[in-house]
């Protein structure tokens, strides 16, 4: 399987090289040249398989320069009991007769990013060996809250790697910040950015495309790669859990083979729902993909109208991992829906860069209407949904999961579609204790990790052990930089 850039389809590189590179040097995203197809026989073979074996089978379809045995070993390391607190890794919880929740937060950082970022370091380390790379890779990460910690947890003290994480200074929860600034490991660095996630992400992309910086770092023995979902090695492990969820529904008798399932995904950078789209393109029986946004509803407007317009107020919300106005992974969707027309995609991205807006073709608009439904949930709706799910179902959910649950209900009310639905839970409620406490009628007594015990005392829901371990842990990092200073931070980090 070869990979090419969304902005230059003449480029052809192997899977290991794509994982190693992270982002194409032309600024495009690396994308598989074909989408492997799966059918009933493939799915039946996985119904009673472990999550690890499902992961190896799915990933082997795309990473043909890795062996399935090799990938199974990686999956056993990534999703084993020393990392995940649930044997299924990504379990389904039944909410009612036609609704399930896919819990993706049972890993070491209590967020869905662990599903990919426990796998990516192993894929990347193998890629360095396979490509004969002797330089040290520096992983640059822009995070809206969860990716940074999950990436550092995955890459901490991994040989031949360094990792620098940038997060918006005032745009993450107290627990998310505590997780990042206390991270252990001799090869990690963390820096707050005076701006929002889009500023941090733009800065990382700028550094990637700066030939002078790349040459300076090469002279020092480094090259750059990414752990953001712009790296194909991040997207591919996420495809797995949609296929796994379908297999679990089959195993438990909730559906029959071939029955369609709708997935509702809370998303900001469009990576998580893009993975669901790829699963559908592979032949997984998926009905509608429901895209759930918070008040930063740029994706809702785009999927409804075909016009992407980032020129709007930026809202800092209680679901910070979705506080994004420039959704990078949308570029991969546009590439696929345009018939892999790299010139068309380049035009959209250039317009976004220069004017902040673009409008897609009629063909793409029609495809968006057929494949997706989009809605958003405001702050009041998020709180109300947390309270209602706790009261009616005894189910404590976080702010991002609440957005998905609420938008899924909007979809059903608007369409009357009774297709079985799975909404995606992307974080433990303990990562957002203050907002969850307020939603269920409690007044927070303190902030950050101080609230873990209060939420546990109220609900009895177990505190993830690694979050509990944050209490009393001293920060290691306190660096803050302006947007224009990010280049210097990286160069200083790699002296």
Half-sphere exposure (Cβ direction) of 356: Cα atoms closer than 13 Å: 8
Distance, in Å, from the CA atom of 36 to the CA atom of 59, rounded to the nearest integer, reads: 10
The 3-class secondary structure across 386-437, one letter per residue, is HHHHHHHHCCCCCHHHHHHHHHHHHHHHHHCCCCCEEEEECECHHHHHHHHH
First to last CA, the chain: 37
Whether 254 contacts 412, CB under 8 Å: no
* DSSP conformation class of 111: B
Catalytic pick among 20, 113, 149, 280: 113
Burial string for 425-441 (b: 16+ CB within 10 Å, else e) reads bbbbbbbbbbbbbebbe
225-240 per-residue burial string, b: 16 or more CB within 10 A, e: under 16: bbbbbbbbbbbbbbbb
Distance, in Å, from the CA atom of 389 to the CA atom of 396, rounded to the nearest integer, reads 7
d(Cα 492, Cα 494) in Å, to the nearest integer?
Answer: 5
Q: Which of 281, 342, 273 is nearest to 302 (CA)?
A: 273
Do 332 and 31 form a contact (C-beta atoms < 8 A)? yes
Nearest to 202 by CA among 325, 332, 36, 357: 325
Residues 490 and 207: their CA atoms lie apart, in Å, by 9
CB within 8 A of 216, min separation 6: which ones? 491
Has 431 been annotated as catalytic?
A: no
Catalytic residue list: 113
């Amino acid at each position: 399987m070869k990979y090419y850039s969304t902005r230059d389809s003449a480029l052809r590189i192997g899977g290991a090289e794509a994982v190693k590179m992270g982002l194409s040097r032309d600024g495009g995203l690396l994308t598989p040249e074909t989408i492997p197809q799966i059918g009933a026989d493939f799915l039946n073979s996985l119904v009673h398989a472990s999550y690890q074996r499902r992961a190896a089978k799915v990933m082997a379809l795309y990473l043909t320069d890795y062996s399935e045995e090799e990938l199974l070993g990686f999956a056993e390391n990534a999703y084993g009991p020393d990392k995940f607190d649930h044997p299924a890794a990504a379990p389904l919880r039944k909410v009612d007769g036609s609704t399930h929740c896919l819990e993706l937060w049972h890993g070491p950082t209590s967020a869905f990013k662990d599903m990919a970022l426990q796998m990516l370091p192993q894929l990347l380390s193998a890629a360095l060996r396979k490509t004969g790379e002797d330089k040290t890779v520096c992983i640059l990460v822009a995070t809206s809250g969860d990716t940074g910690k999950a990436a550092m947890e995955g890459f901490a003290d991994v040989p031949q790697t360094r990792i620098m994480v940038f997060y918006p200074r005032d745009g993450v929860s107290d627990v998310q910040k505590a997780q990042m600034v206390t991270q252990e490991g001799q090869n990690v660095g963390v820096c707050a950015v005076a701006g929002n996630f889009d500023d941090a992400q733009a800065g990382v992309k700028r550094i990637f495309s700066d030939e002078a910086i790349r040459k300076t770092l090469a002279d020092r023995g480094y090259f750059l790669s990414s752990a953001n979902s712009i790296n194909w090695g991040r997207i591919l492990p996420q495809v797995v859990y949609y296929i796994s969820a379908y297999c679990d529904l089959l195993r438990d008798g909730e559906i029959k083979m071939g029955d369609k399932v709708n997935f509702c995904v809370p998303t900001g950078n469009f990576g998580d729902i893009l993975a669901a789209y790829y699963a559908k393109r592979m032949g997984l029986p998926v009905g509608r993909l429901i895209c759930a946004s918070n008040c930063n509803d740029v994706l809702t407007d785009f999927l409804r109208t075909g016009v992407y317009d980032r020129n709007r107020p930026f809202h800092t919300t209680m679901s910070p991992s979705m506080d994004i106005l420039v959704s990078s992974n949308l570029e991969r969707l546009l590439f696929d829906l345009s018939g892999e027309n790299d010139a068309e995609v380049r035009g959209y991205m250039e317009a976004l860069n220069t004017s902040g807006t673009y409008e897609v073709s009629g063909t793409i608009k029609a495809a968006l209407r057929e494949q997706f439904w989009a809605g958003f949930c405001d702050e009041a709706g998020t709180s109300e949904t947390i309270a209602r799910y706790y009261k009616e179902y005894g189910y404590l959910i976080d702010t991002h999961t609440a957005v998905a649950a609420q938008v899924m209900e909007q979809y059903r009310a608007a369409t009357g579609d009774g297709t079985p639905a799975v909404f995606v839970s992307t974080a433990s409620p303990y990562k957002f204790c203050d907002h969850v406490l307020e939603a269920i009628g409690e007044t927070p007594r303190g902030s950050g990790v101080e609230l873990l015990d209060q939420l546990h005392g109220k609900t009895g829901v177990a505190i993830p052990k690694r979050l509990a371990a944050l209490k009393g842990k001293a920060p290691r990092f306190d660096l803050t930089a302006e947007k224009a200073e990010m280049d210097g931070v990286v160069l200083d980090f790699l002296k």
